[in-house]
C-alpha cells in the first residue's frame, strides 16, 4: 500500500460544521443519479457522487481543494432526482460557505464568486462590464481577456453591454446588508 | 370427499389466494374464493414464464391426493374443487362478528352475459363498436367493451365492461345462444327523479338518461320533489344542493323520513362540495360534481344503477378470512423522474414487456418495438423504478424485480438466439433466494446479459425514429450514454387498490406504506384474530414465498377454526354408495344436447342418433334440448334413474364444465362418476364453421363414438384407497421443527419430535435480537413451553433417527434415544427440519486474532458483555465471506440483516464508534430496506467491493488493518479496526445422511432438494415427506416459522383422515405380464414405484402416482397400465375416430 493510503480513523476527526453536512449526507447510497443528472459534472475534478463519498469518509482537505462545488450551477436537478431525497444542492451551498469561512476559497475557483458579490455590494446589481474587467484583473492572466474578446465584441454590437470604467474604491450601496450578513455568520 | 365443519373466505384469487383456498379445501373446509376481477389467476394470468425453469408450472399446485375432487388440467385455464365456490367480479363489502364466526357480505356484479349460455363464439365482440385499452396486455393492445378477460380460460365466457359499454345493443342482437341480456325492461322500470331549480339541468339530464333507457321525472324545487315522491315510487333521486325555498340537504332529510329506502345522489358545484360530503353523512349515497357532460355523467348513473339493481349481495358466515389481495404497481409516469414512460412508446414496464414476449400478447410473442414494429436489437432494464426511493414514498425494496428482470433478459436472449443486446442497470442485484445467484451468473456468463451497476438518470429520445438514449454514470464517475430500442422499467410494487377500505372493514392494520402489517415472527397473522394475510398483500414476495405464506395463512385459519370448535371433526355426511356394476355388461346411455335448435339445424341429428344406437354397448339415446339449464339436467337425471344403464355419455358443449355436476349426479343416483364422460359435439356445429349437415353429423357421430368406446372399456371396480397412520414424525427441534410439530398437534394428531441436541431450540438459542427489535429469546421460551406441555407432542431429545422405511401414510422409523435404546415409531408423514449452522471460515485472518469474529460470535459477545461497544473505536464487517462464489455460490440471505442489526446496535450504544460494512450487494429485500436506510443515517459507512478485488486483512501485533478499494473514489482505503466481523453465512448440517435414511434428495450445496422450487417449495419428490427452515435454504426466523407452518399444512392434508384416495387415473401393474425389467421405475417422475424383493413384484404407491402414464409408455409388455387409458379403450377410441375413412 502506498503512502497515499488514508487511515480513516485519523482523518475522521472533523470540525463541527462539517459534521452537520456529514449527517445530512449519511443516507446516501452512492447510486450516482446526482452525477448523471449534473450538467457540469464533465468539468469537475470530482463528480458529485465522489464528493459525497469524500464527505462521508471525512476527506476534508482534499474536498475543499476540489473545484467541484464552485462549478455547481444550482439547477437542483440532483436534488429532484435523488432517490434518498437528500438536500444535495443545499449541501453544496453549505460546503461553499464552509470553504469561505475556512479561507480555503482564496483559490482561483472562488474568485469569480468574490468579484461577482463585490459588484453586487457596490451597485445592488451586476454590472457586466465591470464584473468582467475586475475578474480579469484578479485572475492576473493576460491571455484570459483576449479569449473573451470576440464574445465581448458581439455583445457590445448588440448593445447588451456598454463600456464603462470600473470603480475600485469607495462605499457600496449594499454595504449595510453585507455587514449584517457577516455579523450573523460570525455569531452563528 | 370429506366435509368438515367450518368454512373460510379467501379474498383474492391470485396465486396466494388459490393456494390458500386449495389448502383449506383439501382439509375439507368449505371455501369461498372471491376476486374482483372477472378472471382467476391475478398477475400470474399475464405471465407465461417463471424462472428458474422459464416455464409456468402453476398446475403443480393442484391436489396430489384425492385428485378427483378437483380439476386436473392447466390451472391458468381454470379451477374447480368440490369444496371451493369461486365467485368472480365479487368484492367483500362488509364484515362483522368475531373470530371463528364472521358474517361477511359479498357483492357480485352480475354480468350481462349469462355464463351458462355463452359458448365463447366471439360474435358479440366482432360487432361491438367500442374499443378500449386491453388490461390483459397491459394496455399494449385494444379490446372491445364485450370481451374475454383472458384468452386462455376454459370455459371462456365473454363479459361486458359496463364502464366502456355504450349500450348500443348490437351484441345482444347477434348472440346465437341468447346469452346476452341487457334487460332493457328492467331499466325502463327504474325511475329516476331529477330535482334542480335550473331548467337546463333538468332537461338535459332527462334527455340523456331517457336515451339510455331510464324513466325520468323532474321536479323544479324541494317541495315539488317531496310531493312527487309521495305520489310515485322512485328508485333513485338526483338532488341539487343549492336551491331557493328549500335546499337539497333539507330535501334529503325529509325524503329520508318519507321514503327511507330511496337512494339519493347529491348534485353539487365546486363551492358546495363540503355540504355534499356532509350530506353523505346523513344518508346520501354519493355526490356528482357539476358541470355535467353526458360522457361522464351517464356512465356514473349507470354504475349506480348497476350497483343498486344488478349487483347480487350475499351474506354468509365463515370461520376465518384470508386476505390475498395482491399488489398494485407503481406508475412511473407519476414520479418525479418518469423515464419518459407514457411519453415515448418504447419505454415499457416489466409487465408490459412480459406481454410483449408472450405468445398471447399483442405481437404474438415476437420481440417487436411498440412504436413501429421494428425488430428489437437492444434492450435496457432499469431497476428500482419506484422502489428504494424515498421521494416516491417507497423506502422499501420490491424484492422480485431483480429476478424478474434477469428472467426477462434471458427470455429475450433465448427468443432471439442471443442476438438481442440485453443490459440490466441496477444498484444492488438482490439474488437472495435459493439458486438465485447461480441463475444470475448463468445469465451473465452463458447468455452475456450485461449487468451495469448504476442508476440510470434519464431516458431521452434519440432522433425521431423511436430510438432512446439512456444516460448513466459508471462506478468510476465517467458519464456514459447508450442508444437502445426499448427501455423496460422494473416498476415497483404498491399496495392493491382498495387496501385501505379492506383494512378498515376487516380490522387489520396497514404499515406506513399501506401494506398489511403482520405480527412479529409471523408471515400470516394480522392484528385481527381470524383474519390472515396471504401473499403480496403484506408486502412483496415471489411465487415460492407467496405459496409458502399462503399455506401458512391457511394453516393458521384452520387452527383457528379448529380451536373454535369447527375443526376437523367430520360432518355426518353419508358416504356415497355406488352401485356395484363390475359384473354387469357395459350399457351406455347417450344423452345429446340439441342446444335449442342449433344442432338440429346444423346436422341431421336423427341419423346420428340411429347410428349411435347401433354401437354395441349403447342401450339408449336421449335427446335433451338444453342440458345446460336446470330443466335439461333434471330431465337427464330422470332418464338415467329410470334406465339400467351403467355408463353415461353426454354430448354437449364445454366438457370441462361438467366435472362437478357429474360427481353430484353420481352421488344422487349411485353410479360412480368415473363411468361418465362428456364429449364436445357443439364445436362442429358452430356458426360459420361448417355448413354441410352431413359433415357436421359425421363429426358429431365420431365424437360420440369415441366417447362410447372409451367408456366401454372403463374398469368399473372401486378405486383404491390407502390407510393412513394419523401420526407425524418431525426431525429437528429448532424453531422450524417445533412450529411444525405444534401446528400438527393443534389439529389433534400425535407428533414425535426428535432432536439430537440436549435441549430444543437450535439456532434460536444464539439469537438475542432481531432487526425489527423483537426478542427471539421470548419466542424460544414461549414455543418450548408450548411444545413441552402439549399432550399430543412426544419430545425425544439427544436422539436421532437411524432408519426409516415405508411410504406416504405408512412409515416406520427407528430412533436411537438418549439412553442408547432404540424405539420404533409408526407415522403417516415426516417433516425434516434438521436446520443448518453458521459456516466457519479460514479467510480474512479468522483465527489469527481474538478481534476477528463471526456475526454470531459478535452477537453472543455483545450479549454476554465480552465486547463492550463503548470501548471500541472502529468495527469493520465483511459480507459474503466464502459465499456467492463457487463452491458456495449462494446467498445466505440473513447475513446482511445481521450486519445491519449489529451495526445499528453498535451505533446506538456508542454513536462515536465507526462502523464500516464492506459488501457486494446489500440484500435488504422487502421492508428490510428501511433498516438499510436507518443504518446509513446512523452513520454506518458502506463500501462496496467486487469479488475480483476482495478486502485484504493484515494482523500485526493484535492490530487488524483492513484494506479495501473504494470504487467511488477509485482508491485504496485502510481501516484500522478494533474488531473485524465476518459474515460467513449458513451451511446445512450434514444432511446427506438424513437424506439417505429418508430416501430424499439434497442439492449441490447440501440443502434439501424440494420437489419444485416455486410451486411445491416444502414438498419432497417423495410424497409424505416435507421440509422447512434452513435445512431447505437460508432464511430468517420469521420465514422459517412460515415455512414450517406450510410444511404442517401439507402434512395435515394426508393425516386428515383414516383412508385417503388417490385419483381415478392411476397406474397398475399386471404382474403376470411383468418381466421385472424396472424400466417403469426409472421412468416414474414421482418415485411412486418400487420393486418388492420379497414378493418379486413391481408395486405402485397409489397416493404418489399422479397418473401421468410414463410407466405405461415405457413398459415393453403392456404390463404397466393406466386406469381409464387401457390399450383396448384407446384402440376403440382410435377405431371410432377413423371409422368414417374406411
Q: What is the CATH number of the domain that holds A79?
A: 1.10.1060.10
Beta strand B588-593 with B618-624: parallel, antiparallel or unpaired?
Answer: parallel
Q: Do B440 and B505 lie in a common domain?
A: no
B859 and B972 assigned to the same domain: yes
Instruction: Evaluate if residue B992 carries a pLDDT over 50.
Output: yes
pLDDT at B572 over 80: no
H, E, C per residue of A45-114: CCCHHHHHHHHHHCCHHHHHHCCCHHHCCCCCHHHHHCCCCCCHHHHHHHHHHHHHHHCHHHCHHHHHHH
B882 and B744 share a domain?
no
Whether A169 has a pLDDT exceeding 80, the answer reads: no
**Percent of chain A residues topping a pLDDT of 70:** 82
CB B953 within 8 A of CB B960: yes
- Domain, as residue range, for B301: 185-318
- Chain A closest CA to B906's CA: distance in Å? 16
**A-contacting residues in B 818-877 (Cβ below 8 Å):** 873-874
pLDDT of A138 strictly over 90: no
Q: Residue B982 has what pLDDT?
A: 97
Query: Rounded to whole angstroms, how far apart are CA atoms B679 and B704?
Result: 7
Res A7: pLDDT = 44
| Pairing of the two strands B822-827 and B810-816 | antiparallel
**ipTM more than 0.95?**
no
- Supply φ then ψ for residue B858, to 5 degrees: -60, -45
Residue B1073 has pLDDT above 90, yes or no: yes
Chain CA centroid to CA B292, Å: 42
* CA nearest to A56 within chain B: B941
SS3 B265: strand
Res B569: pLDDT:
46
- Average pLDDT over all residues of chain B: 91
Share of chain B above pLDDT 70, in %: 98
Q: Which residues of A touch B393 (CB under 8 A)?
A: none
Measured CA distances, B875 to B221, B252, B845, B918, B1015 (Å): 79, 70, 15, 11, 42
pLDDT at A1: 35
Determine contact: B455 vs chain A, CB below 8 A: yes
Separation in Å, CA of A41 to nearest CA in chain B: 8
Question: Does the pLDDT at position A14 exceed 50?
Answer: no
Average pLDDT (B1092-1100) is 92
Say whether pLDDT at B893 is over 90.
yes
Pair (B915, B1014) in one structural domain: no
Q: What is the mean pLDDT of residues B663-686?
A: 87
B773 in the same domain as B633: no
Average pLDDT, stretch B668-686? 87
A92 lies in which domain range? 8-104
**Domain with B698 in it: what CATH number?**
3.40.50
Q: Say whether pLDDT at A4 is over 70.
A: no
pLDDT at residue number B245: 83
Q: Does A84 share its domain with A24?
A: yes
Tell me which of B204-218, B812-826, B854-868 is least confident. Answer: B204-218
B262 pLDDT band, cuts 50/70/90, is confident
Q: Are residues B936 and B1015 in the same domain?
A: no
For the segment B479-526, what is each residue's pLDDT rounded down to a tens digit?
899 999 999 999 999 999 999 999 999 999 999 999 999 999 999 999
Query: Least CB-CB distance to B337: which of A5, A42, A81?
Result: A81
Q: How many CB pairs under 8 A join A and B?
A: 110
Q: How many domains does chain B have?
A: 7
Predicted confidence (pLDDT) per residue in B955-972, tens digit: 988 789 999 999 999 999
- pLDDT for position B304: 80
Q: Are residues A118 and A58 in the same domain?
A: no
* CA–CA separation, B1137 and B1130 (whole Å): 11
Q: Give the model confidence (pLDDT) of A34-55 as tens digits.
A: 998 998 988 899 999 999 999 9
Helical H segments across B37-141, by residue range = 123-127
Q: Which of A29, A43, A46 to mutate to test the interface with B (most CBs of B within 10 A)?
A: A29
Indicate whether B559 pLDDT > 90.
yes
**B407 phi, psi to nearest 5 deg:** -60, -45
The Cα B635–Cα B650 span in angstroms is: 13
Q: A167: pLDDT confidence band, cut at 50, 70 and 90?
A: low
Q: Same domain for A97 and A113?
A: no
Q: Are B678 and B658 in contact (CB under 8 A)?
A: yes
**Candidate from B458, B963, B968 with C-beta closest to A30:** B968
Query: Are residue B803 and residue B929 in the same domain, yes or no?
Result: no
Nearest-angstrom CA–CA distance, B823 and A79: 69
| Cβ-based contacts of A22 with chain B (< 8 Å) | 939
What is the 3-state composition of chain B as percent helix, strand, coil, each rounded to the nearest 5?
A: 30, 25, 45
**Is B195 among the domain residues?**
yes
Q: Cβ contacts (< 8 Å) between B476 and chain A: which residues?
A: none
pLDDT band at A151 (very low <50, low <70, confident <90, very high): confident
pLDDT the model gives residue B688: 67
Average pLDDT of the segment spanning B773-779:
95
pLDDT tens string B37-65: 999 999 888 998 888 887 888 999 999 88
Whether residue B864 is predicted with pLDDT greater than 60 in this model: the reply is yes
Assess whether pLDDT exceeds 70 at residue B295.
yes
Interface test with A, best of B394, B457, B924 (most A CBs within 10 A): B457
Task: Using CB atoms, pick whichever of A32, A53, A83 lies closest to residue B966.
Answer: A53
Give mean pLDDT, residues B741-767.
Answer: 95
Per-residue pLDDT band for A126 (boundaries 50, 70, 90) equals confident
Band of the pLDDT at A67, cuts 50, 70, 90?
A: confident
Same domain, B599 and B523: no
Contacts of A14 in chain B (CB under 8 A): none
- Per the model's pLDDT, the better-predicted residue between B1090 and B212 turns out to be B1090
CATH number at residue B767: 3.50.50.60
Contacts of B391 in chain A (CB under 8 A): 81-85
Q: Of B1008, B1042, B1060, which residue is a domain's last?
A: B1060
User: Model confidence at A107, in pLDDT bands (50, 70, 90)?
Assistant: low
Does residue B871 share a domain with residue B917?
A: yes
Chain B residues within 8 A of A56 when measuring between CB atoms: 941
Please indicate whether, in this complex, the C-beta atoms of B944 and A31 are within 8 angstroms of each other. Answer: no
Q: What is the pLDDT of residue B576?
A: 65
Q: With a cut of 60, say whether residue B761 has pLDDT above it.
A: yes
Regarding whether A121 and A87 lie in a shared domain, the answer is no
Share of chain B above pLDDT 90, in %: 65
Q: Is the pLDDT of residue A66 over 90?
A: no
Question: What's the pLDDT score for residue B573?
Answer: 53
Residues B634-662 have a mean pLDDT of 88
Q: Can you tell me the mean pLDDT for B172-195?
A: 86
pLDDT at A3: 36
Domain boundary among A69, A85, A104: A104
Q: Does A40 touch chain B (CB under 8 A)?
A: no
Question: Mind telling me how many Å the CA of A47 is from chain B's nearest CA?
Answer: 6
Of B59-68, B562-571, B896-905, where does the model show the most confidence? B896-905
Same domain, A61 and A122: no
> What total of structural domains would you count in chain A?
2
* A82 has a chain B CB within 8 A of its CB: yes
Partnered with residue B606 across adjacent β-strands are none
pTM to 2 decimal places:
0.88
pLDDT(B189) > 50: yes
The three cell numbers of residue B1087 are 418415485
Amino acid at each position: 500500500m502506498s503512502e497515499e493510503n488514508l487511515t480513516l480513523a485519523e482523518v475522521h476527526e472533523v470540525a463541527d460544521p462539517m459534521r452537520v453536512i456529514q449527517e445530512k449526507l449519511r443516507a446516501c447510497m452512492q447510486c450516482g443519479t446526482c452525477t448523471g443528472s449534473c450538467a457540469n459534472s464533465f468539468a469537475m475534478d470530482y463528480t458529485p457522487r465522489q464528493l459525497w463519498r469524500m464527505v462521508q469518509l471525512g476527506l476534508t482537505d482534499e474536498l475543499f481543494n476540489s473545484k467541484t462545488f464552485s462549478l455547481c450551477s444550482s439547477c437542483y436537478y440532483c436534488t429532484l432526482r435523488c432517490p434518498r431525497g437528500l438536500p444535495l444542492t443545499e449541501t453544496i451551498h453549505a460546503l461553499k460557505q464552509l470553504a469561505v469561512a475556512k479561507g480555503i476559497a482564496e483559490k482561483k475557483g472562488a474568485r469569480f464568486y468574490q468579484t461577482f458579490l463585490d459588484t453586487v455590494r457596490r451597485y445592488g446589481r451586476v454590472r457586466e462590464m465591470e464584473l468582467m474587467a475586475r475578474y480579469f484583473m484578479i485572475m492576473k492572466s493576460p491571455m484570459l481577456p483576449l479569449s473573451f474578446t470576440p464574445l465581448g465584441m458581439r455583445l457590445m454590437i448588440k448593445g447588451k453591454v456598454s463600456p464603462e470604467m470600473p470603480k475600485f474604491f469607495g462605499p457600496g450601496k449594499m454595504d449595510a446588508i453585507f455587514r449584517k450578513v457577516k455579523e450573523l455568520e460570525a455569531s452563528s | 370427499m370429506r366435509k368438515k365443519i367450518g368454512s373460510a373466505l379467501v379474498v383474492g384469487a391470485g396465486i396466494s389466494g388459490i393456494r390458500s383456498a386449495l389448502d383449506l379445501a383439501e382439509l375439507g373446509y368449505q371455501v369461498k374464493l372471491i376476486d374482483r376481477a372477472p378472471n382467476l389467476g391475478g398477475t400470474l394470468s399475464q405471465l407465461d414464464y417463471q424462472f428458474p425453469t422459464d416455464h409456468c408450472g402453476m398446475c403443480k399446485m393442484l391436489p396430489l391426493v384425492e385428485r378427483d375432487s378437483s380439476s386436473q388440467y392447466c390451472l391458468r385455464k381454470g379451477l374447480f374443487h368440490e369444496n371451493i365456490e369461486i365467485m368472480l367480479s365479487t368484492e367483500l363489502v362488509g364484515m362483522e362478528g368475531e373470530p371463528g364466526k364472521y358474517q361477511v357480505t359479498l357483492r357480485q356484479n352480475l354480468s350481462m352475459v349469462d355464463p351458462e349460455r355463452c359458448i365463447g363464439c366471439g360474435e358479440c365482440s366482432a360487432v361491438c363498436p367500442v374499443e378500449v385499452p386491453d388490461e390483459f396486455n397491459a394496455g399494449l393492445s385494444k379490446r372491445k367493451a364485450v370481451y374475454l378477460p383472458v384468452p386462455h380460460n376454459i370455459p371462456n365466457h365473454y363479459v361486458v365492461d359496463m364502464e366502456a359499454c355504450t349500450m348500443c345493443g348490437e351484441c345482444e342482437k347477434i348472440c346465437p345462444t341468447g346469452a346476452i341480456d341487457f334487460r332493457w325492461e328492467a331499466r325502463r322500470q327504474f325511475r329516476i327523479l331529477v330535482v334542480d331549480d335550473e331548467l337546463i339541468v333538468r332537461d338535459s339530464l332527462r334527455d340523456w338518461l331517457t336515451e339510455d333507457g331510464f324513466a325520468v321525472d323532474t321536479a323544479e324545487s324541494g317541495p315539488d320533489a317531496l310531493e312527487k315522491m309521495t305520489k310515485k315510487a322512485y328508485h333513485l333521486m338526483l338532488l341539487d344542493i343549492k336551491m331557493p325555498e328549500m335546499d337539497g340537504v333539507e330535501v334529503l332529510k325529509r325524503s329520508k323520513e318519507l321514503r327511507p329506502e330511496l337512494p339519493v345522489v347529491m348534485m353539487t358545484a365546486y363551492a358546495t362540495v363540503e355540504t355534499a360530503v356532509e350530506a353523505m353523512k346523513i344518508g346520501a349515497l354519493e355526490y356528482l360534481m357539476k358541470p355535467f357532460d353526458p360522457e361522464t355523467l351517464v356512465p356514473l348513473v349507470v354504475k349506480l344503477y348497476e350497483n343498486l339493481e344488478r349487483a347480487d349481495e350475499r351474506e354468509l358466515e365463515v370461520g376465518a378470512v384470508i386476505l390475498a389481495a395482491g399488489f398494485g404497481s407503481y406508475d412511473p409516469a407519476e414520479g418525479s423522474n418518469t423515464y419518459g414512460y407514457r411519453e415515448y412508446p418504447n419505454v415499457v414496464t416489466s409487465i408490459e414487456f412480459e406481454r410483449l414476449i408472450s405468445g398471447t400478447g399483442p405481437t404474438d410473442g415476437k420481440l417487436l418495438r411498440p412504436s413501429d414494429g421494428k425488430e428489437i436489437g437492444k434492450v435496457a432494464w432499469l431497476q428500482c423504478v419506484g422502489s428504494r426511493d424515498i421521494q416516491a414514498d417507497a423506502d422499501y425494496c420490491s424484492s422480485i424485480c431483480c429476478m424478474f428482470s434477469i428472467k426477462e433478459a434471458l427470455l429475450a436472449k433465448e427468443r432471439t438466439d442471443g442476438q438481442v443486446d440485453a443490459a440490466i442497470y441496477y444498484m444492488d442485484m438482490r439474488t437472495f433466494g435459493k439458486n438465485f445467484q447461480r441463475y444470475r451468473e448463468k445469465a451473465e456468463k452463458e447468455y452475456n446479459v450485461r449487468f451495469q451497476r448504476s442508476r440510470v438518470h434519464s431516458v431521452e429520445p434519440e432522433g425521431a425514429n423511436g430510438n432512446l438514449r439512456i444516460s448513466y454514470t459508471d462506478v468510476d464517475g465517467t458519464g456514459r450514454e447508450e442508444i437502445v430500442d426499448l427501455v423496460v422499467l422494473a416498476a415497483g410494487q404498491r399496495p392493491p387498490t382498495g387496501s385501505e377500505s379492506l383494512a378498515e372493514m376487516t380490522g387489520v392494520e396497514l404499515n406506513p406504506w399501506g401494506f398489511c402489517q403482520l405480527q412479529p415472527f409471523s408471515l400470516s397473522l394480522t392484528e385481527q384474530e381470524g383474519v390472515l394475510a396471504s401473499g403480496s398483500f403484506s408486502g412483496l414476495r415471489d411465487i415460492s414465498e407467496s405459496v409458502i405464506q399462503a399455506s401458512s395463512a391457511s394453516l393458521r385459519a384452520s387452527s383457528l377454526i379448529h380451536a373454535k370448535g369447527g375443526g376437523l371433526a367430520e360432518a355426518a355426511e353419508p358416504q356415497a354408495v355406488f352401485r356395484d356394476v363390475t359384473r354387469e355388461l357395459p350399457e351406455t346411455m347417450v344423452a345429446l344436447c340439441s342446444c335449442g335448435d342449433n344442432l338440429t339445424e346444423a346436422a341431421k341429428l336423427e341419423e346420428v342418433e340411429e347410428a349411435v344406437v347401433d354401437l354395441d354397448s349403447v342401450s339408449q339415446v336421449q335427446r335433451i334440448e338444453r342440458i345446460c339449464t336446470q330443466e335439461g339436467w333434471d330431465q337427464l337425471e330422470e332418464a338415467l334413474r329410470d334406465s339400467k344403464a351403467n355408463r353415461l355419455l353426454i354430448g354437449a358443449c364445454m366438457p370441462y364444465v361438467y366435472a362437478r355436476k357429474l360427481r353430484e349426479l353420481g352421488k344422487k343416483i349411485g353410479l360412480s362418476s368415473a363411468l361418465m364422460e362428456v364429449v364436445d359435439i357443439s364445436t362442429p356445429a358452430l356458426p360459420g364453421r361448417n355448413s354441410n349437415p352431413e359433415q357436421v353429423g359425421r363429426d358429431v357421430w365420431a365424437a360420440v363414438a369415441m366417447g362410447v368406446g372409451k367408456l366401454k372399456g372403463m374398469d368399473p371396480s372401486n378405486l383404491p384407497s390407502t390407510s393412513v397412520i394419523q401420526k407425524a414424525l418431525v426431525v429437528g427441534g429448532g424453531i422450524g421443527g417445533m412450529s411444525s410439530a405444534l401446528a400438527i398437534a393443534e389439529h389433534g394428531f400425535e407428533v414425535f419430535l426428535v432432536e439430537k441436541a440436549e435441549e430444543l431450540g437450535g439456532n434460536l438459542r444464539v439469537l438475542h435480537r432481531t432487526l425489527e427489535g423483537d426478542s427471539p429469546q421470548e419466542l424460544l421460551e414461549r414455543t418450548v413451553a408450548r411444545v413441552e406441555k402439549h399432550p399430543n407432542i412426544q419430545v425425544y431429545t439427544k436422539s436421532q433417527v437411524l432408519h426409516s422405511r415405508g411410504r406416504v401414510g405408512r412409515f416406520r422409523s427407528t430412533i436411537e434415544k438418549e439412553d442408547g435404546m432404540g424405539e420404533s415409531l409408526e407415522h403417516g408423514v415426516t417433516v425434516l427440519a434438521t436446520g443448518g449452522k453458521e459456516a466457519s471460515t479460514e479467510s480474512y485472518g479468522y483465527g489469527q486474532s481474538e478481534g476477528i469474529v463471526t456475526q454470531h460470535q459478535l452477537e453472543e459477545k455483545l450479549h454476554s458483555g465480552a465486547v463492550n461497544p463503548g470501548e471500541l473505536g472502529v468495527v469493520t464487517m465483511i459480507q459474503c465471506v466464502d459465499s456467492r462464489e463457487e463452491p458456495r455460490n449462494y446467498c445466505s440471505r440473513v447475513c446482511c440483516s445481521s450486519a445491519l442489526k449489529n451495526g445499528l446496535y453498535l451505533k446506538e450504544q456508542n454513536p462515536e464508534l465507526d462502523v464500516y460494512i464492506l459488501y457486494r450487494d446489500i440484500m435488504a429485500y422487502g421492508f428490510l430496506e428501511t433498516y438499510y436506510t436507518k443504518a446509513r443515517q446512523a452513520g454506518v459507512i458502506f463500501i462496496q467491493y467486487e469479488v475480483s478485488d476482495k478486502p485484504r486483512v493484515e494482523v500485526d501485533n493484535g492490530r487488524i488493518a483492513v484494506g479495501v478499494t473504494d470504487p467511488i473514489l477509485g482508491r485504496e482505503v485502510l481501516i484500522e479496526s478494533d474488531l473485524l466481523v465476518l459474515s460467513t453465512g449458513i451451511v446445512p448440517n450434514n444432511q446427506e445422511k438424513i437424506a439417505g435414511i429418508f430416501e430424499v434428495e439434497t442439492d449441490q450445496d447440501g440443502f434439501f432438494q424440494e420437489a419444485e422450487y416455486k410451486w411445491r417449495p416444502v414438498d419432497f419428490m417423495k410424497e409424505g415427506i416435507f421440509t422447512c427452515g434452513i435445512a431447505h435454504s437460508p432464511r430468517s426466523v420469521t420465514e422459517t416459522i412460515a415455512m414450517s407452518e406450510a410444511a404442517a399444512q401439507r402434512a395435515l392434508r394426508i393425516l386428515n383422515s383414516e383412508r385417503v384416495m388417490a385419483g381415478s387415473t392411476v397406474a397398475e401393474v399386471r404382474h403376470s405380464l411383468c418381466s421385472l425389467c424396472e424400466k417403469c421405475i426409472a421412468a416414474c417422475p414421482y418415485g411412486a414405484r418400487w420393486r418388492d424383493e420379497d414378493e418379486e413384484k413391481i408395486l405402485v404407491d397409489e397416493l404418489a402416482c399422479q397418473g401421468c402414464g410414463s410407466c405405461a409408455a415405457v413398459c415393453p409388455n403392456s404390463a404397466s397400465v393406466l386406469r381409464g387409458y387401457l390399450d383396448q379403450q384407446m384402440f376403440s377410441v382410435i377405431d371410432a375416430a377413423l371409422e368414417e375413412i374406411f
